Amino acid sequence: MCGIVGYTGPQPAVPLLLEGLRHLEYRGYDSAGLAVVSANGHLEIRKAAGRLDRLTESLKVAPIHGRVGVGHTRWATHGRPSDENAHPHTDCTGRVCVVHNGVVENYRELRDQLLAQGHHFTSETDTEVLAHLIEVELTELPEASDGEGPRLLTACRKALDRVEGLYAIAAVSLDDPDLIVGARSRAPLIVGLSAEGNFLASDVPAVLGETRRVVRLKEQDLVALRPDSVLIVDRYGRQRERAVDVVTWDRTAAEKAGYPHFFLKEVYEQPEALERTCAGRLVDDHVVLPELSGLDVESIRRVVLTGCGSAYHACLMARYAFEAWLRLPVDVDMGSELRYRDVALDPSVLCIAVSQSGETADTLAAFELARAHGAQCVALTNSVGSAITSLADHVVYQHSGPEVAVVSSKTFTGQLTTLLLIGLALAERVGRATPVSLQKVVGALTDLPRSVQEALATAQDSSRIAERHAHVNRLLFLGRGVGYPTALEGALKLKEISYIHAEGYPAGELKHGPLALVEPGSLVVVLATRSATLGKLISNIEEVRARGGSIIAITSRGDDLIAPHADEIIRVPETVELVSPVVNVVPMQLLAYYAAVARGCDPDKPRNLAKSVTVE
Ligand code: M6R
């Protein structure tokens, strides 16, 4: 939530900051702003509520110039989206300026203290206290260097010591005009290194146009950037060395590449992304996951899977596989619930936390809880070096590549596929599943990119059906077994991007309540691919039809059982039932996409949402 950028170097900063922000807009688009240190020694600030385009337009009307600056794109937490609440925020003197991603949880207390000391505030944000705290520390620091690096660095470090919450910040001060100070705690921040100056950003795509050399800052790191130097210290001011990574993917991976929307592009990238997820991990009918070699498998008595949103759905789906293959109890909890439950966790528990961003606050808190109780902790993420990795005993990357659309598609199928790989790897080690059944799954995973490619070929059907029904205001998604969490994911996708109210239900539960919603004209999407419970599902379909509901069925190609019971059909390739959600979710992603487009909604930037949910 929120994206931050910074640049210090010989080039004009504004175009670089705007380009960086353009690649961070997925993190929030309630407002945008930037500040540069101008040649005449002023902090020039421009901010605008709304999307980045508004800021860009305002800069055309009233340009600002400088070679050092910071920028921000906001997802509002404290204070409504407005020009005043847009970042950057300054101190009382107007000499310090801060952009912030995160939440200052104790901001009220800090604000009261600062007000009592005579500070005045101009916004409703939590962030503004940071600028004032830095001002206070700068005032109290001696003029001469204290041997710990630049004064602004020390001031930020001391100011952040008073802050509870999570943050990635970038700060500039007129007292040291070519310097930018960055800091992170449970929010991402990277440094981009270039011969033409240095960059700070929330995510790699923001700097990829200028450099591939990046440093992923670690938890509690602070950094002092000048045009030709980078100094990293920890929260105690001790100098730290951090590795320089060379990013191998290029910016086209974070561009639309001819697609009208990122979401559609990412849906179509799924076969290739799944190839990467499985690459080198499926060898001779076995799963190879050296990342888990240090796991004490013998001691595992229970598995707890946790995540939020689509990641939670991936966990729900994986539960069916883990139970079948490991013969162990498997609990699945949303991060936001698990973190506050008085739950029995101990060293015999294997906790797998799933988060593509690696930043989701609720998932991190749940993971920390499991860790505090001594559970073995595995993180599954798409983001190298993200906060979740620092909490984990073992990290498994899904390698889905960058996902820009706020709504997940390829990272969701990547999460589920990686969970299945983990389940298989554990099953081989605990030896409780039959080798033949595991081999069948390995075969299905090997074929998965092709199966998903074939499922994408149903796009015309999804588009036609979505356009025909784009006017409806509510929809039910039904499934049984792994079809149930698939239904949940289908409903979530539709809600998120088309704003049609949709609910996913286990089909067997229909008669216990939701059937009351069905009336003539009701539309119900049913996950009806081949499965052990297909016969039961057909009975549930008939319960809907008997009450005048219409059925859109997602069925297995070559299966004629469902046709007589459905009004519209989308046929996908058949795969092993436990793997089928990866394939079956594809037409649901496409239905949601085409419904959104038909209703004039922006599928890449759904209202009120941001990609990384770093707040509770
Ligand atoms: O980065 P994470 O996997 O932790 O994100 C979890 C959810 O916020 C995310 O899946 C969300 O539900 C998406 N909007 C789904 O499209």
Whole-angstrom Cα distance, residue 137 to residue 73? 27
Task: Give me the pLDDT at residue 370, please.
Answer: 97
Task: Give me the pLDDT at residue 493, please.
Answer: 98
Give, using CA atoms, the residue closest to atom 14 of ligand 1.
407
Task: Give me the pLDDT at residue 145, please.
Answer: 56
357 Cα to the center of ligand 1, angstroms: 8
Once rounded to an integer, what is the mean pLDDT over residues 586-590? 98
Which region among 137-151, 268-282, 470-484 has the lowest average model confidence (pLDDT)? 137-151
Is 611 part of any domain?
no
Q: Which atom of ligand 1 is nearest to the CA of 407?
A: 16
Any atom of ligand 1 within 6 Å of the Cβ of 357 = yes
Task: Give me the pLDDT at residue 1, please.
Answer: 74
pLDDT at residue 173 greater than cutoff 60: yes
Domain shared by 18 and 114, yes or no:
yes
Are 266 and 403 in contact by the 8 Å Cβ rule? The answer is yes
274 Cα to the center of ligand 1, angstroms: 18
Any atom of ligand 1 within 6 Å of the Cβ of 356 = yes
Once rounded to an integer, what is the mean pLDDT over residues 179-197? 95
Whole-angstrom Cα distance, residue 422 to residue 562? 33
Task: Give me the pLDDT at residue 166, please.
Answer: 87
Whole-angstrom Cα distance, residue 563 to residue 382? 39
Q: Which atom of ligand 1 is nearest to the CA of 612?
A: 1
| Sign of the torsion angle spanned by Cα atoms 481, 485, 491, 494 | negative
35 Cα to the center of ligand 1, angstroms: 31
Q: What is the pLDDT of residues 65-113, one digit of tens each?
A: 999 999 999 988 888 888 888 999 998 888 999 999 998 999 999 999 9
Any atom of ligand 1 within 6 Å of the Cβ of 407 = yes
Whole-angstrom Cα distance, residue 121 to residue 427? 58
Q: What is the pLDDT of residues 12-63, one digit of tens each?
A: 999 999 999 999 988 888 899 999 999 888 999 999 999 999 999 999 999 9
- 209, 232, 255 — which closes off a domain? 255
Q: Which atom of ligand 1 is nearest to the CA of 307?
A: 4
Q: What percentage of the chain reaches a pLDDT higher than 70? A: 99
Is 607 part of any domain?
no
Any atom of ligand 1 within 6 Å of the Cβ of 589 = no
Q: What is the pLDDT of residues 420-471, one digit of tens each?
A: 999 999 999 987 878 778 899 999 999 999 999 999 999 999 999 999 999 9
pLDDT grade for 272, boundaries at 50, 70 and 90: very high
Would you call 426 helix, strand, or coil by DSSP?
helix
408 Cα to the center of ligand 1, angstroms: 7
Single pTM value for the model: 0.85
608 Cα to the center of ligand 1, angstroms: 14
- 404, 423, 446 — which closes off a domain? 446
Task: Give me the pLDDT at residue 144, please.
Answer: 65
Domain shared by 551 and 590, yes or no:
yes
Give, using CA atoms, the residue closest to atom 13 of ligand 1.
407
Domain shared by 462 and 437, yes or no:
no
Give, using CA atoms, the residue closest to atom 12 of ligand 1.
309
Q: Which residue pairs, CB below 8 angstroms and at least 24 apart, start in 283-289?
A: 285/439, 285/442, 285/443, 286/428, 286/442, 287/421, 287/424, 287/425, 287/428, 287/442, 288/425, 289/396, 289/421, 289/422, 289/425
| Sign of the torsion angle spanned by Cα atoms 549, 552, 556, 557 | positive
492 Cα to the center of ligand 1, angstroms: 10
Which of 364, 418, 613 has the most ligand 1 atoms within 8 A of CB, as the residue to mutate? 613
Is 224 part of any domain?
yes
Once rounded to an integer, what is the mean pLDDT over residues 156-169? 94
308 Cα to the center of ligand 1, angstroms: 6
Any atom of ligand 1 within 6 Å of the Cβ of 449 = no
pLDDT at residue 146 greater than cutoff 60: no
pLDDT grade for 270, boundaries at 50, 70 and 90: very high
Domain shared by 230 and 171, yes or no:
yes
pLDDT at residue 608 greater than cutoff 90: no
Task: Give me the pLDDT at residue 186, please.
Answer: 85
pLDDT at residue 64 greater than cutoff 80: yes
Q: What is the pLDDT of residues 378-430, one digit of tens each?
A: 999 999 888 899 899 999 999 999 899 999 999 999 999 999 999 999 999 98
- The token duo for 402 is 């960058």
**Tokens 């706020």 found at:** 406
Domain shared by 547 and 469, yes or no:
yes
Domain shared by 463 and 489, yes or no:
yes
Q: Which atom of ligand 1 is nearest to the CA of 609?
A: 14
Domain shared by 242 and 273, yes or no:
no
Would you call 146 helix, strand, or coil by DSSP?
coil
Look up the CATH number of the domain holding residue 106: 3.60.20.10
Q: Which atom of ligand 1 is nearest to the CA of 360?
A: 4
Any atom of ligand 1 within 6 Å of the Cβ of 604 = no
- 234, 255, 276 — which closes off a domain? 255
Terminal-to-terminal C-alpha distance of the chain? 11
Is 120 part of any domain?
yes
Is 610 part of any domain?
no
Any atom of ligand 1 within 6 Å of the Cβ of 126 = no
Domain shared by 425 and 282, yes or no:
yes
Which of 186, 317, 356 has the most ligand 1 atoms within 8 A of CB, as the residue to mutate? 356
Is 119 part of any domain?
yes
Once rounded to an integer, what is the mean pLDDT over residues 149-156? 94
Are 488 and 477 in contact by the 8 Å Cβ rule? The answer is yes
Are 70 and 97 in contact by the 8 Å Cβ rule? The answer is yes
Give, using CA atoms, the residue closest to atom 10 of ligand 1.
310
Q: Which atom of ligand 1 is nearest to the CA of 357?
A: 1
Domain that holds residue 587: 454-598
Q: Which atom of ligand 1 is nearest to the CA of 409?
A: 16
Task: Give me the pLDDT at residue 442, please.
Answer: 95
204 Cα to the center of ligand 1, angstroms: 19
Once rounded to an integer, what is the mean pLDDT over residues 192-196? 96
Q: How many domains does the chain have?
A: 3
Domain shared by 177 and 106, yes or no:
yes
Give, using CA atoms, the residue closest to atom 11 of ligand 1.
309
Domain shared by 249 and 269, yes or no:
no
282 Cα to the center of ligand 1, angstroms: 27
Any atom of ligand 1 within 6 Å of the Cβ of 309 = yes
Any atom of ligand 1 within 6 Å of the Cβ of 363 = yes
pLDDT at residue 308 greater than cutoff 60: yes
Q: Which atom of ligand 1 is nearest to the CA of 415?
A: 3
Task: Give me the pLDDT at residue 149, please.
Answer: 84
Q: Which atom of ligand 1 is nearest to the CA of 383?
A: 1
Give, using CA atoms, the residue closest to atom 1 of ligand 1.
357
Any atom of ligand 1 within 6 Å of the Cβ of 613 = yes
Give, using CA atoms, the residue closest to atom 7 of ligand 1.
309
Which of 338, 397, 408, 607 has the most ligand 1 atoms within 8 A of CB, as the residue to mutate? 408
Any atom of ligand 1 within 6 Å of the Cβ of 308 = yes
Is 614 part of any domain?
no
Q: What is the pLDDT of residues 511-562, one digit of tens each?
A: 999 999 999 999 999 999 999 999 999 999 999 999 999 999 999 999 889 9
Is 605 part of any domain?
no
Give, using CA atoms, the residue closest to atom 5 of ligand 1.
355
Any atom of ligand 1 within 6 Å of the Cβ of 496 = yes
Which residues are catalytic, by number? 2, 611
Look up the CATH number of the domain holding residue 392: 3.40.50.10490
Give, using CA atoms, the residue closest to atom 4 of ligand 1.
355
Q: What is the pLDDT of residues 319-378, one digit of tens each?
A: 999 999 999 999 999 999 999 999 899 999 999 999 999 999 999 999 999 999 999 999
Task: Give me the pLDDT at residue 437, please.
Answer: 81
DSSP-H helix ranges across 31-92: 52-61
Domain shared by 52 and 69, yes or no:
yes
Give, using CA atoms, the residue closest to atom 9 of ligand 1.
309
Question: Mean pLDDT score of the chain, rounded to an integer?
Answer: 94
Would you call 495 helix, strand, or coil by DSSP?
helix
Whole-angstrom Cα distance, residue 227 to residue 243? 19
Domain shared by 282 and 311, yes or no:
yes
Once rounded to an integer, what is the mean pLDDT over residues 103-130? 93
Beta strands at 474-479 and 523-528: parallel, antiparallel or unpaired: parallel
Task: Give me the pLDDT at residue 228, please.
Answer: 96
Task: Give me the pLDDT at residue 29, please.
Answer: 84
Whole-angstrom Cα distance, residue 327 to residue 307? 22
Whole-angstrom Cα distance, residue 499 to residue 171? 38
